[in-house]
Amino acid sequence: MNEIIGKSVLILGYGAEGQSVHRWLKKFYPDLKIGIADQKLKNRNRSLLTTSGDSCSNYDTIVKSPGIPPNLPALTAASAKSGSAFGGKAAEKHITSATNIFFSVCRGKIIAVTGTKGKSTTASLIHAILSRAYPDVRLVGNIGNPALDYLDGADKNTLFVIELSSYQLEDLRYGPLVAVILDIVPEHLDRYRDFESYVAAKSQIVRFQSPADYVIFNPDHDIPAKIASQGSARKVRFSPTGPLPASDIPLLGQGNLENCLAAAAAAKVIGVPSSAIRQAIINFKSLPHRLENIGEYRGITFYDDSIATIPQATIHALNALGEKVETLIAGGFDRGLDYTELGKFLVNRNGLKNLILFPDTGAKIWQSVLSAAGKSPLHLMKLPVSSMKQAVDIAFANTAKGKICLLSPAAASYNLFKNFEARGDELKQQILLYQ
């Protein structure tokens, strides 16, 4: 399928993926008229995103970046026959994405990974395992490597491991050779009208797979199992009670056990021997901001789990580290998530004493704690903060030597930080001031 139709292209959104599309178009379509629309750009068609769609009408193809919502008025007016999970009336304009372009021109084999949490770790694990058995394996996608930038020199033997977010899957109209579906729980409810719409976006990963393809999932998770059943690909199931011994896994937590098992299953499908799989997993190092042990400072061990942007991830982190966690730093940007279960968990958590809480969801987390506690005595102390410096100062003042302080926010970062990486980096920088 040709994803570039006509003589002109509008790149809608000029972040990392938009810039990657621009480079790719200039290389392979040098005669195209190319327009760029991005609210953050100055003096470059800045008004395009806020018009009623007239601007889009000047271009034959529109390449939408993942951060652009599908219900943007300009897109709604120009909605094309894109195969999107969100529908839309057929129109003359062709709407596509960097992901669709990548799938359409990729000559290699594609292993795609999605889920709510664990995508980057699982994709990185698959890349590490495959690299032990094959000479040309490339890690791309939502992990921070725009896929179009990694096509040079690829052939039919190249293996691409691509991490796909729900944003990248919304309008996907191609199927990967291997689809890995990790657990799916409520997330991005500021983007989607409801959880079902989020699941629908994730489901696109299997929609265009063939009977010759594979879908890998844990049948104990209802939503991935349901998504897998909707496609025609061969089903490959994995379970935490599978053949990989927990002693072989250097990563903490039940979630990472599942990540390793999913990666092992994907590698098996591609033909990697069990011995190579085991050695790759044993030698794998945790990615930054994912239950990362920062070190011991003044007798307190600090962990950076800034990637934990949902309540379930924070619960997993606390379970992984055990009852030595005395201080939890949580809270952040409010995306409409429910903190009821987290409140119940925190109230009953042995050893936990201090809740250092960022706005805006810090207040919601504390309210869920109060609701869960009812009239019972509360062993937790509420410590509201508005900066990472305050959080670290309070952590050092209130955490006993020999205990753990964990940053696992259960919320996104965007109200105070650029992203979860910046949040974790700021934690490290503030801790270093206490050396």
What the chain holds in terms of domains, given with CATH numbers, is 8-96 (3.40.50.720), 100-282 (3.40.1190.10), 292-432 (3.90.190.20)
What is the reported pLDDT for 79? 67
What is the reported pLDDT for 54? 60
Rounded Cα distance, 268 and 264, in Å: 6
Question: CA distances (Å), 249 to each of 123, 258, 263, 342, in order?
Answer: 16, 10, 12, 27
What is the reported pLDDT for 232? 98
* Paired residues of 11 in beta bridges: 36, 63
The first and second tokens of residue 424, run together, are: 């974790």
Strands, E, within 365-403: which ranges? 381-384
What is the reported pLDDT for 75? 81
Helix (H) or strand (E) holding 297: strand 292-297
The SS3 call for residue 209 is coil
The SS3 call for residue 104 is helix
- Residue-by-residue pLDDT tens, the chain, 435 positions: 699 999 999 999 999 999 999 999 999 999 999 999 987 764 444 444 433 336 688 899 999 999 898 888 878 777 644 444 444 444 568 999 999 999 999 999 999 999 999 999 999 999 999 999 999 999 999 999 999 999 999 999 999 999 999 999 999 999 999 999 999 999 998 899 999 999 999 999 999 999 999 999 999 999 999 999 999 999 999 987 666 777 788 899 989 999 999 999 999 999 999 999 999 999 999 899 999 999 999 999 999 999 999 999 999 999 999 999 999 999 999 999 999 999 999 999 999 999 999 999 999 999 999 999 999 999 999 999 999 999 999 999 999 999 999 999 999 999 999 999 999 999 999 999 998
Give CA 169 to chain center in angstroms. Answer: 12
Rounded Cα distance, 320 and 119, in Å: 18
Q: For the chain, percent helix, then strand, then coil, each to nearest 5? A: 40, 20, 45
99 contact partners, CB below 8 Å, separation of at least 6: 66, 141, 147, 164, 168, 169, 172
Q: What is the dihedral of CA 336, 342, 344, 346, to 10 degrees?
A: -140
Please, is 78 exposed, middle or buried when counting C-beta atoms within 10 Å of its C-beta (0-12, 13-18, 19+)? Answer: buried
- Cβ atoms of residues 46 and 79 within 8 Å: no
DSSP letters for 349-399? -TT--EEEE-TTHHHHHHHHHHHHHTTS----EEEE-SSHHHHHHHHHHHS
- Cβ atoms of residues 149 and 20 within 8 Å: yes
What is the reported pLDDT for 276? 95
- Cβ atoms of residues 280 and 249 within 8 Å: no
Rounded Cα distance, 56 and 298, in Å: 58
- Cβ atoms of residues 246 and 282 within 8 Å: no
Residue with tokens 């490959």: 236
115 contact partners, CB below 8 Å, separation of at least 6: 122, 180, 181, 182, 183, 184, 202, 224
